[in-house]
Structure 1
Amino acid sequence: MDDLGYARSRVAELGERFCLTFVKGVDEREALARMGAYPDTVGERAGPEPAGHAAALTAGAWTLVIEPGGAAGSDHVLLEAVSRGTEAVSVLRDDAATPRFTYAVKGTTTVAFDPSFPAPEVTWGSDPGLLQHLMQAVGLREPAGEDEETWRDAEAKSLVLAQRLTGVRVPEDALAGPRLSARIEPWFVGGPRPADLLRPGPRFADLFAAAQAAPDERKRTVAVAEVRRLAGLLGVAGTPGLATALDEAARGAGRPVPMDSELGRHVRTWLEAADPGGLGLLTTALRGVLDRDADVALRAALRPLRAGGSLFDPDTAREAVTAALRAS
């Protein structure tokens, strides 16, 4: 059978945006749980998946998780969490962005690249050259000249690569019959993402200089104070469990919020708000401030300074944070 032709058909069938995640050695329920499935949403379904849901299918020694219209599995932080103790592969198609292929082993991204331009200099991971021979075999390579269209069929080629790695062929009409599925929420899986952190820039030069000179204890104190301030502005500072979680973060003992905890249930409502507004800033900052790395916690807590808006004056807040970091 023509592997590429078959893969083209599956890509066309799944549509303009989807993510396929292959997880080795776990069953369907465990694969969904590793992806951040809400336990109360796990069940057998038929027909189109609701937004935010993923379906799981057993495929030999692997479980295939399909996100129609979703992209959670392409997040390398989530995939690393999914791969702990095993292996995981994800293939993303997103016609509004860029495709992505990621292979993670035992909690580490081994190889990740954009299949439409898989140049060695932009392929990353702990062993970026590991799959080069397979990539070449399926036609995943950078163009030799400007007129060479090696980007065509990028997603189909990456699907063939996933098949070579896993021995799993995505079935035809994979979502046509009953299958186990659930709503997934990556917020509860893995730590902060790079985009969650405040990045250096001319506007924040003084702040970053102050942070670099500050001891870890002060960084954590300032980070927690900022998240408390944001929660107060949003009227949710009294949320059960929030004060305790922030107290632990201030001591450097922060830990992820369990989705079945009282705080976790409130976070879930914040994440599912129709118009999250500042709650989106809060959930992102909260996940980051719980990290035990003081620099990560501080940069995550200060990420809302790039947004500001109607909640607060970001320039005034920036100056106040810089002064707090410099305080003796």
Structure 2
Amino acid sequence: MGDEAAEYYDRMLVDAEWGEAFCLTFVRGLDESALISAFGGDPAAVRSPVDLAQVLDTFRYGEEPATLLIATAGDWRIGIEVNGGQGWRAEVLRRAAAAGDGTALSVFRDISGRSEFTYVTGDRVQAVIDHIRPQRRSGTNPEVLDALLAGLPFGHRDDIIPEAAGLALAERITGVRLPLDLLEQDLPGVILTPVPDDLVPEGGRGLAALDHPFIRRMLAAPTRENLPAMLAFRTRLIAEDAGLLGEPAVQGVLTALDADRPAAPELRARLRELHQRLAGDLQAMNAVQDVAAAAFDTGDPVERFATTYAIHDSDRSLQAVVLRRCALHAVPSAAPVAPSAPVPAPAPVTAPPRTAATSSAYAVVAKEFAVWDPGKQRTVTRWLARRAFEVAGLATLDWARPALEALDRGEPLPFPDRRSVFRLISAAALVTATTGLPLDQLENRLTESQRAELRERIDRAPMAVITIFNTANPDPARALEDTFVTALETFDGRPEDLIAELRAQFC
């Protein structure tokens, strides 16, 4: 095992239709039913691959429920999610480990570029390793797997897909090798009901911030009846952290929330004025948006617990996260999407699973997008794709320029298929396109700054490519939404920058 195993899994992922986004979860010491239950599925509802595909075909594209396929290799059960990530979540991995012999691990990649190996034992996440930047680790014991990492080509080393190194690490831990035709086998599958988030994030367990009497009461009773109190307390946390407690409009909202009564209608205009007055301070503006969301009921209780503002104080931040999770627990899940008539499935994978950050950023601009006419929606969509290519450092490459020009003219993209483009953004291809040198001839010819810039380009390239394909959605509104979300990922955690640029250009 070692580099040979990584090369084996590299071939597997290159050839696999599911290789762009997936999660493989390994658990030992449990049966198929126990694995399904740990993921939130019903063991009595297992279907054949054909039956499962027929059920999924009845859902609108992009609204399909989470699914799980189950394989067996040696003593290990393997949960397979194509374009899914329940097995990446600590809540699911801990449940699976507890149902087995106490150990679970997963190899995860989504199309936004997030790529992680997670290892759980003893009801704790021991280590999370970033496949692309393996020096980035977290968990209770981040170095626990160090003895097994030697020689594994994480970070695109040797032009190996980073997740292939993760699968090689899984092989070192489990002692089992996955067959190349894994998803061509007749594997049983099941539709999942996602396991709820823990009320307290694993990293927050035992921290003093949770000893606050109010937080303890809400954790003991995360019910709908307590939603008004949670909303009032959480909104005050945001206002206090952002230094807005002295603003009369904010005080008016807090007074109304404390009394569990509707905010006065005139507060809407006063909050808008405050938002405008704070122009230039994006964090303060975000805080005002969250206060406004809490103040005015749109009919969806969850929307009132907006998360646009990033709380600085660690205690307040943990308390706000816990209260939002309590609120989500108190509000019944949305009803399942009613199946529509079967429709032809478009090319797989066009939008990443929504994170809290991307959902919050989209919420900031969603109302503006909705009132634009289709022509403007298309114009902004094309601009977003070009910005994604520019930020990812791809716009000047020989193959990218004709694609962006075709996009500007409203013509089809000049690619035979999606996979042909992904071959153009492999580590080796990007190194050669950027430097004119093959990957194996770089040696010490780049400065550390140049290497860092090249790594950033390699990391952001997949999301930029997904962005340009998202522009082709026949629905202008959906194309705009999906393109904004994927373009946002190329800005690497800076949603306010993209939103500011967009508004300066089009608003």
Match 1:31 to one of 26, 35, 60:
35
Structure 1 portions without partners, runs of 5+: 143-147, 198-208, 231-276, 283-292, 310-328
AA at the equivalent of 1:58: T
Pair 7,81 (structure 1): closer, same or farther in 2 beyond 3 Å: same
Instruction: Trace 1:252-267 onto structure 2 (pairs within 5 A).
Output: none
1:116 aligned onto 2:147: no
Counterparts of 1:108 and 1:86, CA distance in 2: 10
Distance in 1 (CA, whole Å) between partners of 2:153 and 2:79 is 25
Does structure 1 retain, via aligned residues, the 8 Å contact 2:219–2:326?
no
> Could you tell me how far apart the structure 2 residues matched to 1:160 and 1:95 are?
21
Paired AA for residue 148 in structure 2:
L
Higher helix share: 2
Out of 20, 25, 49, the residue aligned to residue 16 of structure 1 is 20
Partner of 1:89: helix, strand, or coil?
strand
CA shift for structure 1 position 126: 2.1
**How many residue pairs are counted as aligned between the two chains?**
232
User: How far 1:138 moved relative to its partner?
Assistant: 1.3
Counterpart residue type for residue 198 of structure 2 = G
The partner residue of 2:140 within 122, 126, 137 is 126
Corresponding position of 2:153:
139
- How far apart are 1:93 and its partner, in Å? 1.8
Q: In structure 1, what is the equivalent of residue 323 of structure 2?
A: 298
Residues 151, 71 of structure 1: alpha-carbon distance in 2 compared, 3 angstrom cutoff: farther
- 1:180: how far off? 1.7
Measured after TM superposition, the shift of residue 298 of structure 1 is: 3.2
Equivalent of residue 7 in structure 2, options 2, 5, 8: 5
1:72 equivalenced with 2:79 (yes/no): no
Mark the runs of 5 or more structure 2 residues left unpaired by the alignment.
Answer: 57-63, 231-298, 305-317, 332-358, 365-507
Give secondary structure in 1 for the equivalent of 2:195: helix
Identity of aligned residues (%): 26
Q: Give the whole-Å Cα distance in 2 for the aligned partners of 1:126 and 1:213.
A: 25
Please state if 1:83 is matched with 2:97. Answer: yes
| 1:157 alignment partner in structure 2 | 165
Structure 2 vs 1, CA of residues 82 and 218 (structure 1 numbering), >3 Å: closer, same or farther? Answer: closer
Aligned to 1:278: 300
Label 1:25 to 1:227 Cα distance change in 2 as closer, same or farther (>3 A).
same
Once the two structures are superposed, what CA deviation does each residue of 1:171-212 show, in whole Å capped at 9, x if it has no partner? 122122322211122325x624759x9xxxxxxxxxxx9x98
Q: What is the alpha-carbon distance in structure 1 between the residues aligned to residue 131 and residue 303 of structure 2?
A: 32
Name the larger-Rg structure: 2
Correspondence for 1:264: none
Map 1:171-186 onto structure 2 (within 5 A).
171-186=179-194
CA distance 1:53–1:216, shift in 2 (3 Å) = closer
RCO (CA 8 Å, sep 6+): is it higher in 1 or 2? Answer: 1
Residues 36-92 of structure 1: per-residue CA shift (max 9 Å, x gap): 113453133348854421111111110111111111111122211211142111001
Secondary structure of the residue that 1:178 maps to in structure 2? Answer: coil
Counterpart code for 1:42: V
Q: Indicate how the Cα distance of structure 1 residues 228 and 59 shifts in structure 2: closer, same or farther if over 3 A, else same.
A: farther
Q: Measured at CA, do residues 43 and 34 of structure 1 come closer, stay the same or move farther in structure 2, by a change above 3 Å?
A: same
TM-score by length of 2: 0.39
Asked whether the 8 Å contact 2:109–2:163 carries over to 1, the reply is yes
1:166-315 alignment, distance < 5 Å: 166-188=174-196, 191-192=198-199, 194=201, 214-215=213-214, 219=218, 224=223, 225-227=225-227, 278=300, 298-301=323-326
Secondary structure of the 1:187 match is: coil
1-side partners of 2:327 and 2:192: how far apart? 27
Structure 1 or 2: more strand by fraction: 1
Q: 1:152 to 1:173 in 2, by over 3 A?
A: closer
Q: After TM superposition, give the deviation of residue 100 of structure 1 in Å.
A: 0.8
